[in-house]
Chains A and B, each alone.
Chain A
Amino acid sequence: MKTVIALVVFAPSMLAAQHGSVGLQVAFGDYREVSSDLHYRGSGGGVAGSFTYKKLGIEASVAGITYDPVAGSSATVSFKATQLDVRVRYYIAGPVSAEVGFVNRKVKPEFEAQSMGAVRAGARMSYPLGPGVNMGLRAGMLFGSKFSGGGTVSGVGALELGLNMAVDAMKGRLRLTGDYDFQRIARTTGSGPGKADVPIQQALGRVGLAVAF
């Protein structure tokens, strides 16, 4: 009974302070590994959701992209990458928010490219361009990277950079979104004389339409 009363009393004010959105995305990307010979480009789709409560924000997206070797590439087989991104953001001051989360990318067929997982930490600068138009720039590092083919990354070897925008439409009920993510992972394999640099680099663009609530 007390819980019901508490919900009735506090729910309206809680709802007023929170925003959320769910939407579909079109994704397109560029993936390179080891050398410029292993170069793929692809496209696909995905879903994304976000939830904001006071200073706290959570974003999650899943994108499935089918990468095909570009012309002139030594690669011959396409692969499908399914990438899960989760970001938890906390507003600090001015335009700056701190961001933590993780990334997980599964590749099929396995070993055509590297599946990987890592924890991310960084910062985001957000700025309202005008009524209903927001943009953000983020930069961060990936920690604890794990790869399906093994290998390690130095402490500052995995970096990511992002640009995002959101344009509200229909009085904020719809939201047109655009996200750009760039990852550069300085992966190495082996040790000693057999140590080899096998970097991974992905540029991923996503354009979507979300329903806001």
Chain B
Amino acid sequence: MRHPVLLVTLLLVPAVLGAQTVQNATLRRAQTAYDNLDYRGALTLANTAQRERLNGFDRARAYELLALTYSAMDSILKAVAAFKEVILLEPERELDPNRTSPKVLSAFSVALTQVLVVRQLKVDSTDFVGGQGDVAIRYVVTQPARVVTRITGGAAPIKVDSSVANGQVNLRWPARLANGDPVPAGNYTVVVEATIGQNNFSASQPIRVTQGAVDTLPHLLSLPGYEYLPETEIPPKSWKPMGLALVYSGIAIAGTSALSSGDLGSASFREAGVIGGGLMAAGFVVMLRKPAPQPARGNILYNRLLREQLTRRNAEIAQDNIRRRQQVALRVVPMPRTGGGR
């Protein structure tokens, strides 16, 4: 049962150690001994390397090699102690669960619960209008601790949160000053400090805040989905002009006949006939012609309503634009970290 675990561990160590190479010669020899399953030799050489002058990366690799070797030798407590040193040196250190033996992962997890670190501090890149959005900040605290989150870099530090936390913590920062104004553009640092008694740890993430103008809305020329209707409509052809000309001419002729004096003989209808005939001819032509466009009352009212709606909407947009011109668009972007926590 031990051999498969050792084999897996052996295979995965180079990948776990990452891209940066080990500088110390003794540590490289310890690594070679570990690779050759010479655990005693690996322990001796790793401890020797610890006493030598090592850079941070080599020191973390030396403790990690010790932890892996103790795990392979079933010395779990020592493996946990070595992993604790690794975590304190590299709080962001993670082991790939798919490529690491469960025994090693278990020792690493136990080690995580025994040291106070703030890990995986992340600030989301975001854009929003000042006062109408916020910046997401999240991190992991490995032990229950009083955690204070601050933003530094401005005129005065801005406290985002102060609470007792353990595990994953999600915060939202509105990027506003105490007086409510948006934070000025510039470089800031999100600092998370965790404290248990005398034990404390802090992690930081630099961010850049830039300001811009809020986009204004264009005025509308028409309401989407609504179109103006023609305010005139051509009525259907009708007999009315001809009929009216006939009626008027008939009244004139009949009136002439009725009013004419009996003593003067039968009335002359020549004059009335000429004018009445001309009128009927005009009525006939009008009847055949395309009727003149008539105002479409319903469409006129509809268009008036549409214009009023458009005017009202544009007034609202103008008001909104006035408000938008007084607003500030904030962009928060996390920057590369220069160092780990302490």
Contact = CB atoms under 8 A, between A and B. Distances in A.
Contact of A197 (B245, B263, B265, B279): B263
Interface in B163-209: none
Contacts of A133: 241, 282-283, 285-286
A194 interface: no
Interface stretch (B144-152, B268-276, B309-317): B268-276
B251 A205 contact: no
Given A137-B248, A199-B264, A180 B289 contact: no
A60 B274 CA distance: 21
Interface in B276-310: 276, 278-279, 282-283, 285-286, 289, 291-292
A35 interface: yes
Interface in A155-170: 159, 161-165, 167
Given A130-B289, A163-B276, A203 B271 contact: yes
B249 interface: yes
B255 A36 contact: no
Contacts of B256: 161, 182, 203
Given A163-B275, A184-B261, A199-B263, A205 B270 contact: yes
Nearest to A37: B265
B156 interface: no
B278 A36 contact: no
Given A130-B241, A207-B274, A201 B279 contact: no
A28 interface: yes
A131 interface: yes
B136 interface: no
Main secondary structure of the interface of B (DSSP, over half): helix
A207 B272 CA distance: 12
Interface in A140-182: 159, 161-165, 167, 178-180, 182
B241 A205 contact: no
A178 B279 contact: yes
Contacts, number: 120
Contacts of A213: none
A180 B276 contact: yes
Contacts of B271: 28-30, 180, 182, 203-205
B252 A167 contact: no
B282 A137 contact: no
A133 B269 CA distance: 23
Interface string B251-262: 110011001110
26 contacts: A32-B261, A35-B263, A36-B263, A127-B248, A129-B244, A129-B282, A130-B286, A133-B286, A135-B283, A137-B248, A137-B252, A161-B255, A164-B275, A165-B278, A178-B275, A178-B278, A180-B272, A180-B274, A182-B255, A182-B259, A182-B260, A199-B261, A199-B264, A203-B270, A203-B272, A207-B275
Interface of B: 241, 244-245, 248-249, 251-252, 255-256, 259-261, 263-265, 267-272, 274-276, 278-279, 282-283, 285-286, 289, 291-292
